[in-house]
Structure 1
């Protein structure tokens, strides 16, 4: 009970204040435990932070598993349809798991500030070389089918992510009540900007 309670409390505090702005005392207060209880489960604040980071990333990955599983099992997929399903899965996941999104933004800032963590595993949770590599196959397929402009896959990826982040930043960060229609309009804007 204490272990899970501590992680839930830490997620809330880290999501608001980031790693450097959070103290073990604040996590303990949020969890209703004493600071010494934190150390009976975790060796340090950084270990707790990293465990939460891994769990948030795993949950996000699981939310898109139906889409990635479909692509792995199907040779002749519609790349536009897959990108749209992926877009909607990520928006849906982070809209429902607001604190995960806020935490992962804080975690990206934390990683960028630490030279020892400045790599793909601990970098921006949406914009990194692994993500670009994943999307590359969809953009390459769409270009080979002559459905989209002949732009670099990296630039196409940034345009795609911009539409996703436009929704998430307004909905999650600024708490603006947006509906599915707004997400669809952003998708359509993205698609119109790259289609031939």
Structure 2
């Protein structure tokens, strides 16, 4: 339980202040323990930072993956739309985690960059596979015309990334939801207009 509280406090503080701006003593204080208590769970500050980042990426992916289990009977359009809605729901419920991840990806501590890139790549591969499976199923059922899969997956992931940035730009849920719906509608129409190859 203390380990999880330390990780959660670390995500908030690292997200607010970055790696260099956050002291272990601040994290310990936020949890109500002495700084040496951190070493019972983490080797050092770097270990805490990377662990928090990896677990934040894992939590996000697990949340998105649940859609696959819940939407077994849905068509591909509903599944892809569901991914965007689910991502939105995750951002609302886990705002601090997402700020931490976004800051880490945009401004990674140089000496931790390799570990961050490896964790991101692993997460990205899992998400890409989920989206690819949805789209291949759509081609099999005929709701997406037969076409190269990689550009479709890339475009959808870029759409997700763009919406993730938009979420933090606007305080209005109404504005964000309008952007989500109009962007997805244009994406879906694009999948339908590609000639078979």
Same fold, TM-score > 0.5, yes or no? yes
- Return the match for 2:167 from 157, 160, 171: 171
Partner of 1:155: 151
1:129 equivalent in alignment to 2:128: no
Q: Which whole-Å CA distance do the structure 2 matches of 1:130 and 1:61 have between them?
A: 7
Q: 1:105 to 1:167 in 2, by over 3 A?
A: same
Shift in Å at residue 65 of structure 1?
4.4
Shift in Å at residue 98 of structure 1?
0.9
| 1:135 and 1:157 in contact (8 A); partners too | yes
User: Does the residue aligned with 1:43 lie in a helix, a strand or coil?
Assistant: coil
| 2:53 and 2:101 in contact (8 A); partners too | yes
Partner of 1:183: 180
Structure 2 unaligned segments of length 5 or more: list them. Answer: none
| 1:79 and 1:139 in contact (8 A); partners too | yes
Flag the structure with more relative contact order, 1 or 2, with Cα contacts below 8 A and sequence separation at least 6: 2
The count of residues paired between Structure 1 and Structure 2 equals 189
| 1:117 and 1:123 in contact (8 A); partners too | yes
Q: Which whole-Å CA distance do the structure 2 matches of 1:184 and 1:55 have between them?
A: 29
Q: Which whole-Å CA distance do the structure 2 matches of 1:157 and 1:45 have between them?
A: 36
Structure having the larger proportion of residues in helix = 2
Q: Which whole-Å CA distance do the structure 2 matches of 1:139 and 1:65 have between them?
A: 15
Q: Which whole-Å CA distance do the structure 1 matches of 2:158 and 2:98 have between them?
A: 15
Shift in Å at residue 169 of structure 1?
1.1
What are the superposed Cα offsets for residues 112-146 of structure 1, whole Å, 9 maximum, x if unpaired? 96345643xx12576x2332222212222333444
Shift in Å at residue 63 of structure 1?
2.5
| 2:28 and 2:34 in contact (8 A); partners too | yes
Partner of 1:192: 189
Structure 1 unaligned segments of length 5 or more: list them. Answer: none
TM-score by length of 2: 0.75
TM-score by length of 1: 0.75
Shift in Å at residue 97 of structure 1?
0.9
Q: Which whole-Å CA distance do the structure 1 matches of 2:68 and 2:14 have between them?
A: 30
Q: Which whole-Å CA distance do the structure 2 matches of 1:123 and 1:181 have between them?
A: 29
| 2:105 and 2:116 in contact (8 A); partners too | no
